[in-house]
């Protein structure tokens, strides 16, 4: 899977590069990656529900610590509202990808879950939402990256 963005695409990159996380707060990768995916998806679903209510500031509050260091709350709020505007209201999500990873491009090694959804959008359109979750120490699974684009 490639995470690059084609030109002209409605996209909000939550972060450009995830800042290194203090290794002392990271837990070892789980022996059961399916359990990690399940836990990350539960957290992502709750986070997306906050975003769907228009509570972009609260969504930023719940993001991974390193992501909040990389982008201000004000920049996040403006960016996410612009990126989602042409798709709202968003409807039913169908998960199309759920993958545990220990490495991603431009990120330090860690525990990540890449989730992708095909989401019903206004005007009969569909959006592709990508949510990358990361293990954020004792805070558990948190959003490190959020992307939205029109389904082709």
Q: Where are the domains of the chain?
A: 29-150
Q: Who's near 83: CB < 8 A, 6+ residues apart?
A: 10, 11, 12, 148
Query: Phi and psi for 149 in degrees, rounded to 5?
Result: -150, 160
Q: Which residue has the tokens 């002209």?
A: 8
DSSP assignment of the chain equals ------TT-----S-SSPPPPPGGGPPPPPS-HHHHHHHHHHHHHHHHHHHHTT-HHHHHHTS-HHHHHHS-HHHHHHHHHHHHHTTPSP--EEEEEEEEES--TTS-S--EEEEEEEEE-GGG-EEEEEEEEEE-GGG-EEEEEEEEEE--
The predicted pLDDT at position 3 comes to: 43
The predicted pLDDT at position 61 comes to: 96
Q: Whole-angstrom Cα distance, residue 41 to residue 62? A: 14
The predicted pLDDT at position 31 comes to: 52
pTM of the entire predicted model: 0.80
**Per-residue pLDDT in tens (0 to 9) along the chain, 152 residues:** 444 333 333 334 443 333 333 433 444 444 579 999 999 999 999 999 999 999 999 999 999 998 899 999 999 999 999 999 999 999 999 999 999 999 999 888 999 999 999 999 999 999 999 999 999 989 999 999 999 999 98
CATH superfamily of 29-150: NTF2-like; domain 1 (3.10.450.100)
From its phi and psi, is residue 99 left (phi > 0), alpha (psi between -120 and 50) or beta?
A: beta
Q: Whole-angstrom Cα distance, residue 113 to residue 82? A: 25
Q: Whole-angstrom Cα distance, residue 20 to residue 107? A: 8
Nearest alpha carbon to residue 129 among 36, 47, 32: 47
């Amino acid at each position: 899977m490639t995470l690059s963005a084609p030109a002209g695409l409605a996209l909000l990159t939550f972060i450009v590069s995830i800042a290194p996380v203090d290794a002392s707060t990271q837990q070892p990768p789980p022996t059961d990656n399916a359990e990690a995916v399940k836990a990350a998806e539960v957290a992502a679903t709750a986070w997306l529900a906050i975003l769907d209510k228009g509570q972009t500031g609260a969504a930023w509050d719940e993001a991974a610590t390193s992501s909040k260091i990389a982008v201000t709350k004000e920049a996040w709020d403006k960016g996410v509202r612009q990126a989602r505007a042409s798709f709202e209201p968003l409807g039913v999500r169908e998960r199309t990808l759920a993958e545990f990873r220990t490495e991603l491009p431009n990120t330090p090694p860690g525990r990540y879950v890449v989730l992708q959804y095909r989401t019903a959008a206004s005007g009969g359109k569909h959006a592709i939402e990508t949510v990358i979750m990361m293990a954020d120490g004792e805070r558990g699974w948190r959003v490190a990256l959020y992307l939205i684009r029109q389904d082709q």
